[in-house]
């Protein structure tokens, strides 16, 4: 035990690989670290084996669909697909890994085109944010893309999916995002990705609480109040879907 009266900077001392043979996308690690009081401790974590030289693992895309002739307000494009770790379909933002040599903006435009068939312009991006720092070093950037639906290339969008991918595209109201998530979740039996829900939750935090006696923090969130989509809390509480990492870490370390 270290001197409990001294406080310094916590640091990782060693990283020991525990990845099973044949793993392609992930590495499992056992970490030894010293806490700020000098005590030696251990930790278990996972990391992506695909991290490019840029150091940015992945991107998620908040794609705003705009049209001069639209009378129904701005829309956002979402996707749903089967996620084996959850054994169900999940409603998500378009997202994917950053390839070597790509910028986050380039990766975002590529993933949006592949998953939805839409082309657009990247307008801003978040700092590098971390998905589940208690379990993984995985990181990402959230990229905003504006999609001009009057562009002829977006009139009949065609997905460019890899073999084995099965992705459904959803166009939803930007200023009623929370209601849309709840409706799709119930009607199509979809789980909701944390990053996507965080955007809707951020919108709700940005508006006055409802006067209803049941309150806006009730079990089912009240998203009934309109909001300017530009007010989205763009980088609030961003998480990657890491259920696969949790299962693998638990199984492999308990079996050691």
How long is the chain? 256
The pLDDT score that the predictor gives to residue 212 is 52
Does the pTM of the predicted model rise above 0.75? yes
Contacts of 22 (CB under 8 A, 6+ apart): none
- Which segments in the chain show pLDDT lower than 70? 1-6, 210-256
Contacts of 195 (CB under 8 A, 6+ apart): 60, 92, 93, 95, 142, 238, 239, 240
The pLDDT score that the predictor gives to residue 63 is 98
Please, are residues 167 and 157 in contact by the beta-carbon 8 Å criterion?
A: no
Q: What percent of the chain has a predicted confidence (pLDDT) above 70?
A: 79
pLDDT in tens, 219-253: 454 444 444 444 344 444 444 444 444 444 444 44
pLDDT in tens, 122-133: 999 999 999 889
The pLDDT score that the predictor gives to residue 207 is 79
**Which domains are assigned to the chain?**
11-48 (no CATH), 58-155+164-206 (3.90.79.10)
The pLDDT score that the predictor gives to residue 140 is 97
The pLDDT score that the predictor gives to residue 72 is 80
The pLDDT score that the predictor gives to residue 42 is 97
State whether residue 62 is helix, strand or coil: strand
What letter would DSSP give residue 5? T
The pLDDT score that the predictor gives to residue 6 is 55
């Amino acid at each position: 035990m270290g001197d409990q009266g001294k406080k310094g900077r916590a640091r990782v001392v060693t990283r020991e690989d525990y990845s099973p043979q044949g793993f392609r996308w992930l590495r499992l690690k056992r970490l030894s670290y010293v806490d700020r009081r000098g005590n030696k401790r251990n930790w278990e974590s996972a990391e992506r084996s695909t991290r490019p030289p840029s150091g940015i693992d992945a991107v998620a895309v908040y794609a705003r669909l705009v049209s001069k002739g639209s009378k129904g307000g701005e829309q956002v494009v979402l996707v749903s697909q089967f996620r084996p770790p959850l054994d169900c379909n999940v409603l998500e933002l378009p997202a994917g890994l950053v390839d070597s040599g790509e910028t986050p903006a380039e990766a975002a435009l590529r993933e949006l085109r592949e998953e939805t068939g839409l082309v657009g312009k990247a307008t801003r991006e978040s700092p590098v944010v971390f998905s589940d720092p208690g379990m993984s070093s995985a990181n990402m950037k959230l990229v905003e893309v504006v999609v001009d639906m009057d562009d002829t290339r977006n009139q009949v969008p065609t997905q460019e999916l890899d073999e084995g991918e099965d992705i459904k595209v959803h166009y939803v109201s930007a200023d009623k995002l929370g209601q849309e998530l709840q409706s799709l979740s119930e009607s199509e039996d979809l789980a909701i990705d944390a990053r996507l829900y965080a955007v809707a939750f951020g919108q709700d935090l940005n508006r006055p609480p409802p006067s209803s006696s049941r309150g806006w923090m009730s079990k089912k969130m009240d998203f009934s109040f309109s909001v300017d989509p530009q007010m989205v809390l763009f980088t609030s509480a961003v998480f990657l879907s890491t259920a696969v990492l949790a299962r693998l870490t638990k199984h492999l370390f308990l079996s050691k």
